[in-house]
Structure 1
Amino acid sequence: MSYEWFISLRYLRAKRKQTFISVISFISIAGVTLGVAALILVLAVMTGFSDGVRQQILGNVPHVLMQRFGEGIDNPQELVDAAKKTPHVLSAVPFVSKEAMLLSQGNVSAVSVKGVGPEHKIFSQDVLTLDGQPVKKQFFSGSVDRPGIIIGLDTASSLGVSVGDSINVIPPLFSMTPFGMIPKMKPFEVVAVFEKQSSLVDSFYAYIPLFVAQKFFDSEGVVSGIELEVDRYDRAPQVAQALASQFDFPTVVRPWQSIYGSFLSALKLEKLGLFIILGIIVLVAAFNIATTLIMVVMEKNRDIAILRAMGANARSIMKIFMMEGFIIGTVGTGVGAVLGVLLAHYADAAIKFLEQSFGIQIFDQSVYGMEHFPSDIIVSDVVMVVIMAMSICLLATIYPAWRASRMDPTEALRYE
C-alpha cells in the first residue's frame, strides 16, 4: 500500500478536532447512496413500465401490418407467400376489419370487428368459453344464422352479456329493401370472452370468422390487410423494410413502432428526464464531498506542510485528497447500487406488504392493466449510473486536492 492510500484512509478514520467535518462526510456518503439508489430504482420502474405497456400494446396487435392504400387486397395469398419467405417472420394471417356497433339488451358498444382465420394469435390468448370447450371448435362451427364471436371483457361488461348470449352486429352498411335503405344487422353468439384485458386496445376489438366477415361486409375474395408476427418484436422495422422493397405503392407495410411507437418514445423521454432530475441528487452529494475535502484541507494544513517538508511533492498531496474523495464516492456508490438493486427487485413485494399493512392502495392493477408492479433491472442501466456517480465524485475532488497541492509549507508552519 502506497503512503498516499495510507494517509487517505487515516484521514477518514481519524477523530478530527472539528466533529462537523465528520458529519459532512457521513452526509456526503448518504447523499451519494440515496442518489444512486433512487436512480437505479426509477430506471428499473420506468423500464418495467415501458415493457409492460409494450406487451399490452402487442397483445393482439400485429408486429407488422400490410395493407393497400385506399382499397382492400384482392391477392392476399401472393402477399402471404412473400411474407412467409422473409427472414424472422413466424406467421402471416389475412384479416377483414370494419368498424361496427354491438347491440344487446338495449346496450351499445362500438368496436372494430375483425374477421380472422384459425392461425390468428387471438386463439393463443386465455379466454373464457362455455364449459371450457376449445375456442376454435365453437368459433368456426357456429351456425350460418348465428356465427360465433369473441369479445373482450370490457365489451362484455358494457353489453351485459356472457358466453352463450347473443349480440347483434351493426356495421356502417345498408341493405336495399322495398321500404328503403335499412342498416345491415346480424346476430352472433358469444363463444369466448377474454378472461383479462391483455392489451390496451383489445377492448376495442371483436373477432368473427374470416369467411363470415367477407360475406357480411360485402368483401368476398378481398381482405383488409395481412398481420405478420416476427420472432422478436424489435425486428419488426427490419422485416417491414424488406417487404416494402418488394411491393410498390399502394401496398403499405408498417411495423408496430410506426403505429404505437410514439407512446413508447414519450416513455423513453420521460425516463431520460427522470435520470437527469435524479442525477442532480448525486451532483448535490458531490458538492458535499468537495465541501468535506476543503474543510479537511483547512484542518490538515500543518500536516500537509510537514509532508511537503519531508519531501512529498505536489502530485502526492493531490493524490491523497483525491483518493479520500474517491473512497467516499466508492462507498456511497457501492452501497447505493446494492440498495437500489434490492429495492427494484423487491419493489412489488414491498408495495404489497405496505398495502396489506396499512390498508391502502398504492398500485391499482386495473388502471395500469398489470398484475405486478413493473420493475425490470437492466445491467447496462446500473453500470451507467455507477459510472456517472463515480465520475461526478471524482470531478468534485479535483479543486480541493489541487488547492492542497498548491499550499506553501513555509506559510503553514510560520506560526507553529
Structure 2
Amino acid sequence: MANRTAPFARFEWMIAWRYLRARRAEGGVSVMTWISLIGITLAVAALIITMAVRAGFRAEFVDTILGSNAHVTVYSATYVNESGAFSRALQDFDTMADRVRNVEGVTRVAPLIKGQVLANLLDRNAGVEIYGIRFDDLKTIPRIANPENFQGDIERFESGIAIGSGVARELGVTAGDKIKLISPNGVKTPFGTSPRVVAYEVVYVFTAGRYDIDKTRVYMPFTEAQSYFNREGVADELEVMVEVPEGIDDLALPILRAAGGETLLWTWRDASGAFLKALDIEDTVMFVLMAILVLIAAMNIISGLVMLVKNKGRDIGILRTMGLSEGSVLRVFFLCGAMVGMLGTLFGVILGCLFAIYFDPIFAFVNGASGGDAWDASIRGVYRLPALLQAKDVISAVVLSLGLSFVVTIFPARRAARMNPVEALRYE
C-alpha cells in the first residue's frame, strides 16, 4: 500500500502559491485574487474601526457620567414635616452620610442642596441647576476638580460659585465676573413669596466634558445654598461615589440599609441605563452588518477559485494521473483561498489598527473639512469621538474573517478534488 501524503505537505503549499501568482495568460486569476484580497482587507478594517469607535464612544460617555455625577443618589421618601407640609429633605444628613461612608466599597459621600434657578447677566439669561456642595467634597469630583479646561481658581470656591463652560458661554462671562441667580421661591412675606435675587462672583469655570453638564450646572457653597433655597439644617440628597461603579448593583442594598429610614436610591444605571442598552443593541446591529460585509468580501474568493479550477482543469488531471489524491487536490485549492483570506485579514488588521490609533487627527481633519459639523456635542452629549482599540474586538474580527474565508473556500476546492482526470484530459 502506498504511503499516505501528510496533510498540508510542503508541495501542496508550493502548488497553491504557484497558482496564486500565475498570470492570467498562464491560466491564473490574478485580477480576481487581488479583488478578493482588497475586499477582505477593507471589510476587516471597517469592522475593526467600527468596533473601536463604538467602544470609544461608550467609554467616553460612561466616563463623563461617572466623572461628574453621583454613582448613587440617596434621597428621602415624601413625609410630613413639623410644619405640616410635605417634604423630602434629609434631616440628620451628616450622621446618615457617616453610616453610608462606612459601607465597604464606598469611596465618597457628600450632602447636596439642589435647585433650579435663572442665571442672568445684563440681557442674557440661562436656566441652570444649582448644586450646593462643600468645598472638600467638590475637590473630590474628578471632572470638576481636574477638568479638561478651566478658568479661575477652585480654591476661591467659598467666596463665589463655579459654573460650567456652557453656562459661561451662554451668559458671556469669564472668571471674575458677577452674575445674578434668580429663584421664584424666595422670601415669604404677608403678601406672598417674592423672588430671591442674589449676585455671585464666578470664581471658577470648568469643562466637564459633557455638554448637558457644562450647559446647566452651577456649584454653590453648601451653607450658602441652604440659605438661598430655605433649606437651613437639612440636605436634599446624598451624593455617593463607589470604588467599582460597574458593580453598583451589588452595593445598592448595603447602602440602602446603611442610610436607613424611609430612603430611596437612584443609581447611575437607573439614570442612563436605557441609553446604554440602546448602545448595546446598536453595537450588536453594527457588528452583524459589518459581518455581512466581510461575508460579501469573502464570497469573492469563491468566484476566483471557481475560475481557477476551470482554468487549471488540465493541471488537475495531470496531478491526479501522477498519483495525487483527492484530498491533496482539495487541500491545494483550499490553501489558495485560505491564503487570500489570511493575507486579507492580516492587511485589514494592520489598516484597521492604524486607523483606530490615529483616529483623533483623522477625525479632526474630517471635522475641519466639513466646517465643524461632523460632530455636534449638543446631540451626542460628549465633545469628542475617541476610538478605543480592544484586543477582544480585533480577535473577533480575525476569527470572523478567517472563519468565513475558510468556509467559503471548501466548496470550490471540493469541486476541484472530485474532478475526473479522464474528463479533464479528454480534449487536451
TM-score of Structure 1 vs Structure 2, range by shorter chain: 0.7 to 0.9
Q: 1:40 aligns with which of 45, 48, 54?
A: 48
Q: Unaligned regions of 5+ residues in structure 2, if any?
A: 1-8, 79-87
Check the 8 A contact 1:97/1:114 in 2, yes or no.
yes
Q: Is 2:365 the partner of 1:348?
A: no
Q: Unaligned regions of 5+ residues in structure 1, if any?
A: 143-147
C-alpha displacement of 1:248 = 6.5
Give the corresponding residue for 2:151. 128
Check the 8 A contact 1:127/1:193 in 2, yes or no.
yes
Give the corresponding residue for 1:77. 94
C-alpha displacement of 1:369 = 7.3
Range with greater deviation from structure 2 (106-115 or 393-402):
106-115
- SS of the counterpart of 1:29? helix
Give the corresponding residue for 1:6. 14
C-alpha displacement of 1:350 = 3.2
Give the corresponding residue for 1:336. 348
Identity across aligned pairs (percent)? 31
- SS of the counterpart of 1:171? strand
Q: Is 2:311 the partner of 1:299?
A: yes
**Distance in 2 between the 1:20 and 1:281 partners?**
26
Check the 8 A contact 2:96/2:258 in 1, yes or no.
no
- SS of the counterpart of 2:241? strand
Check the 8 A contact 1:59/1:199 in 2, yes or no.
no
Q: 1:206 aligns with which of 218, 226, 245?
A: 218
Please show how residues 14-413 of structure 1 align to structure 2 within 5 Å: 14-17=22-25, 21-70=29-78, 71-118=88-135, 119-120=137-138, 121=141, 122-125=144-147, 127-129=150-152, 134-136=153-155, 138-140=156-158, 142=159, 148-178=160-190, 180-202=191-213, 203-244=215-256, 246=258, 250-352=262-364, 361=372, 363=374, 373-413=385-425
Give the corresponding residue for 2:6. none
Check the 8 A contact 1:41/1:344 in 2, yes or no.
yes
C-alpha displacement of 1:93 = 0.8
**Distance in 1 between the 2:415 and 2:285 partners?**
35
C-alpha displacement of 1:106 = 3.6
Measured against aligned partners, the alpha-carbon deviations of 1:181-236 in whole angstroms (never above 9, x if no partner) come to 13331413223242435323322121111122223222222211111222344233
**Distance in 1 between the 2:321 and 2:130 partners?**
88
Range with greater deviation from structure 2 (276-285 or 286-295):
276-285
C-alpha displacement of 1:41 = 1.5
Q: CA 1:182–1:249 in structure 2 vs 1: closer, same or farther (change >3 Å)?
A: closer
**Distance in 1 between the 2:312 and 2:275 partners?**
56
Q: CA 1:289–1:170 in structure 2 vs 1: closer, same or farther (change >3 Å)?
A: same
What TM-score, normalized to structure 2? 0.85
Check the 8 A contact 1:365/1:372 in 2, yes or no.
no
C-alpha displacement of 1:247 = 5.4
**Distance in 1 between the 2:179 and 2:371 partners?**
39
C-alpha displacement of 1:16 = 4.1
Give the corresponding residue for 2:81. none
**Distance in 2 between the 1:82 and 1:201 partners?**
32
What TM-score, normalized to structure 1? 0.87
**Distance in 2 between the 1:328 and 1:261 partners?**
43
C-alpha displacement of 1:328 = 0.5
**Distance in 1 between the 2:262 and 2:318 partners?**
84
- SS of the counterpart of 2:68? coil
**Distance in 1 between the 2:409 and 2:423 partners?**
23
Measured against aligned partners, the alpha-carbon deviations of 1:20-74 in whole angstroms (never above 9, x if no partner) come to 7221111000000010111111222222222222233334211222222331222
**Distance in 2 between the 1:188 and 1:237 partners?**
42
**Distance in 1 between the 2:26 and 2:322 partners?**
26
**Distance in 2 between the 1:344 and 1:326 partners?**
26
Check the 8 A contact 1:127/1:192 in 2, yes or no.
no
Give the corresponding residue for 1:145. none
**Distance in 2 between the 1:161 and 1:415 partners?**
89
Q: How large is the RMSD of aligned CA atoms in angstroms?
A: 2.7
Check the 8 A contact 1:55/1:199 in 2, yes or no.
no
**Distance in 2 between the 1:80 and 1:215 partners?**
21
Q: CA 1:23–1:245 in structure 2 vs 1: closer, same or farther (change >3 Å)?
A: farther
Q: CA 1:365–1:176 in structure 2 vs 1: closer, same or farther (change >3 Å)?
A: closer
Check the 8 A contact 2:187/2:196 in 1, yes or no.
no
**Distance in 1 between the 2:273 and 2:203 partners?**
30
C-alpha displacement of 1:387 = 0.7
Aligned residues: 403
**Distance in 2 between the 1:197 and 1:37 partners?**
33
**Distance in 1 between the 2:196 and 2:251 partners?**
39
Check the 8 A contact 2:117/2:130 in 1, yes or no.
yes
**Distance in 1 between the 2:68 and 2:197 partners?**
25
| Matched AA of 1:128 | Q
